[in-house]
Structure 1
């Protein structure tokens, strides 16, 4: 038994005879769009006039004094160009200072990270699980104060350092304590 898939245009409901006639449309912004971009399909003929209907738009950010967040405004290029009265907008834009490119929130995130950076080479933080490189100073602290650090970690509800765990032995250079307790083979 075979199956036949019948496809229809999302715009008009018209039957699609040939999949090559379908155009994938991603709607990124629309007043009725609440949960982010969506994808629809339509026949090529149904969207042929879209490019002719397209507007030349300008997206600007207004950074008002005393406001933490800018306001984004989208307007027609022609209306925006009329704002420049001292010189044509093309000249104004050509002589304008470039904006440093950044990832949204990058500056705030790097500032937070700098404030929240933990120094694992201190007795108060050594041995805590972290993704970064284990420094020689942290390794030395763990080797010299293993029992004390494990007591702190247990009190904090964090995993303790196990000299029988090969990952912990490698991470903190615990080969000597592990050998001394007979937990490794020579």
Structure 2
């Protein structure tokens, strides 16, 4: 059994015969749009006039005493906005206006950043500094952690390895004496 998808214009209800003729329109803002952007489908002929009907608009944020520090966003015709500049053409006003820097946001830790002070990630090789919490966890649970590392195909932690001993706080392994030293 097969399935056939029939596209119908959201504007006229007309059946769109060929999938290649489907025009997808995403409505980002509309006075009646309450739940965020929506997608519509239409015939090419139904949307030919959209470009001709497009408006030159300006979107501004207004910060004044009425907003309690919050901006009011206003969209208006570009010609109406341009008329506000009476001494100098608006194009010149915009060229010399002070640039606005986007607000700084608090830097968040990446969502994929691993917490090596947990049983799930302790002992995995990493470039960062080994925290006291991770080192203690490794020392107290070495067998379990090595079992997990082996299952994940990661190198095991060897307390006799000077690098591992230093990283996780194991006692330094004794240096073997050579025959010439002993």
TM-score (norm 1): 0.61
Tell me the residue number matched to 2:19: 19
Tell me the residue number matched to 1:184: none
Shift of 1:34: 1.9
Tell me the residue number matched to 1:88: 89
RMSD of aligned C-alpha atoms?
3.5
**Equivalent residue in structure 2 for 1:174, among 158, 168, 171:** 168
1:70-120 CA-to-partner distances (Å, cap 9, x unmatched) read 2211111011011111111111111112222x3xxx62424xx6xxxxxxx
Shift of 1:64: 2.3
1:27-42 aligned within 5 A = 27-42=27-42
1:22-171 aligned within 5 A = 22-64=22-64, 67-100=68-101, 102=102, 107-110=104-107, 127=117, 134-135=128-129, 138-139=131-132, 146=136, 162-164=141-143, 165-166=145-146
3-state SS in 1 of match to 2:142: coil
Q: Given the superposition, is the C-alpha separation of residues 142 and 26 from structure 1 closer, same or farther in structure 2, using an over 3 Å criterion? A: closer
Shift of 1:142: 6.2
Q: Given the superposition, is the C-alpha separation of residues 175 and 43 from structure 1 closer, same or farther in structure 2, using an over 3 Å criterion? A: same
3-state SS in 2 of match to 1:73: strand
Q: Which has the larger radius of gyration?
A: 2
| Distance across 1 between alignment mates of 2:89 and 2:74 | 21
3-state SS in 1 of match to 2:88: coil
Shift of 1:30: 1.2
Any gaps of 5 or more consecutive residues in structure 2? Answer: 109-116, 150-155, 158-163, 174-182
| Distance across 1 between alignment mates of 2:97 and 2:170 | 64
TM-score (norm 2): 0.62
Aligned residue pairs: how many? Answer: 142
Any gaps of 5 or more consecutive residues in structure 1? Answer: 114-126, 151-160, 180-186
Determine which structure has the larger helix proportion and give its number: 1
| Distance across 2 between alignment mates of 1:134 and 1:162 | 21
Indicate if the aligned counterparts of 1:163 and 1:174 stay in contact, CA closer than 8 A: no
